[in-house]
Each structure stands twice: as structure tokens, then as C-alpha cells.
Amino acid sequence: MTQTAKPETGAFSPRDLDHQPPAFTPGYKTSILRSPQRNLVSFENTVSEITGPTFGHQMLGELDNDLILNYAAPGESAIGERLIVHGRVLDEQGRPVPNVLVEFWQANAGGRYRHKKDAYLAALDPNFGGCGRTISAEDGSYNFRTVKPGPYPWPNGANDWRPAHIHFSVFGHGFAQRLITQMYFEGDPHIALCPIVQTIPDETAIDALVARLDMDNTIPMDIRAYRFDIVLRGRRSTLFENRLEGN
């Protein structure tokens, strides 16, 4: 029987805004309408932010972390380069964050999503749904099987393409520790060309979004592996004079 660890409570560390992309970046067209019109204001964490949902393995289906099979017909499987994606969910101090829900979704091997508004000309794969979920273990580890998504064009510029990527949503131990992000694959030339990636001012932040080929965890004659560690806000309060600021 899986034991659910008691979530740690307390204020989460503030985000480093210099590490994050600015909200207003005209090269990424949708940011023009979405960016705030006034300066941001920091508030101390509330109880509702430092506590949050808890999840157990009993909520998972047998194939929730297997995108190769979880939408496929019996005896069939998704088309594409077979991959294992694995890593650890960590806080800012490098400590494991166990029992958190990790959700993921992606385009198929041709770069098309199973979504009624996706009008890209690439074919749909009848055996690929493109989404799944898992829960991190006591050591913060997670893993799932999938196929490598394809790049696809998007109407940001005249000829802009998104790099191959997988979306992640992670529920930490409090709502303020929620993270939604994207994982890219090392060696993809589209990463440097992507207008979204170009909004990130910190090269180390971009590097942290890139999964590394992990030959030690491949299965010979079967499937390759990529490692992607996910870092959430940790419990590290920043003091400003005699009060907490930015938490």
C-alpha cells in the first residue's frame, strides 16, 4: 500500500523575475494582450496558497503513464520514435518532492494535436491520444512512455515553428507551488529559433527546459530515454527588513 507523505507547509520562496521571461515580449504576439498593464505587487502567502490538493496512486489508471498504449486499439500502438521520459521533481534546495501529480500532453509524431481546433495538415494517429499523468515517488522520481512529438508551424510570424516539446503541469504541495511548463529535446535547432524561447533572458533557464538523451536508461532494441528534472518553488523565505517580502 502506498503511503502519502504529509505535505510540508510554510511560505514558498519568491520567484526570481530576472530568471523568468518578461510578460511583455512583442516577438511573441499573444503576450501583447496578455501582459499586465501595471507593476506587479507582492503579497505574503495565504493559507490557501501554501496548502493544496493531495493525490494518491489509487487515482491512476493502469496505462495513464503510457502514451504509446493508453489510446491505442488492442494489439496496436502509437506511431513514432518510442521514448521513456523520466526525471525527478525537486524543490529549489534540490530536495525531492514526493506524491505530486505530474500531467503531460503533446502533439503526435507528425506535430498534430488531437484537438478539434488544430488545423495543421499532418495526419492524426488513431492510436495516439497525446495525454497522460503519473505521481512522483518518495524520491521525487517520475517516468512515462511516449513517442517523440513533431515540430509544427504556428501563426505567430510568417514562418514560425514550435520545437518538438511536451507540456507539463505539476501540482506541488501548495497551490503557490503549481508549475506549468514545456520540455524540449537537446539538439533541436528550432529551440533557438522559437519566439517563445527567445523571450527567456537567462540562458541557464532555457537550458533547464531541455531534456538530455539518457542512454543509460534506454532499453536496447526497443526505446530511448530522455531525462528531465522539474524544479518547483522551495521553502526558502526571503526577508526584507523585518517582514517577508515577495512570498
Give yes or no for a contact between 56 and 198, defined as CB atoms under 8 angstroms apart.
no
| Residues assigned a catalytic role | 113, 152, 162, 165, 167
The per-residue pLDDT for range 221-237, each reduced to its tens digit, is: 999 999 999 998 754 33
Q: Report the run of H or E that residue 47 belongs to, with start and end.
A: helix 47-50
- Report domain extents, the chain: 41-244
- Give the rounded percent of residues in the chain with a pLDDT score beyond 90: 59
Mean pLDDT of the chain: 85
The per-residue pLDDT for range 63-77, each reduced to its tens digit, is: 999 999 999 999 999
pLDDT band, very low/low/confident/very high, at 18 (cuts 50, 70, 90): low
Taking the C-alpha atoms of residue 64 and residue 131, their distance in angstroms, rounded to an integer, is 8
Give yes or no for a contact between 93 and 147, defined as CB atoms under 8 angstroms apart.
no
Architecture field, domain 41-244: Sandwich (2.60)
The per-residue pLDDT for range 84-135, each reduced to its tens digit, is: 999 999 987 888 999 999 999 999 999 999 999 999 999 999 999 999 999 9
Taking the C-alpha atoms of residue 67 and residue 147, their distance in angstroms, rounded to an integer, is 7
Angle at alpha carbon of residue 128, lines to 28 and 76, rounded to 5°: 160
Q: Higher confidence at residue 135 or residue 18?
A: 135
Per-residue pLDDT at 186 exceeds 90: yes
Residue 17 confidence (pLDDT): 64
Residue 237 confidence (pLDDT): 31
Q: Higher confidence at residue 30 or residue 84?
A: 84
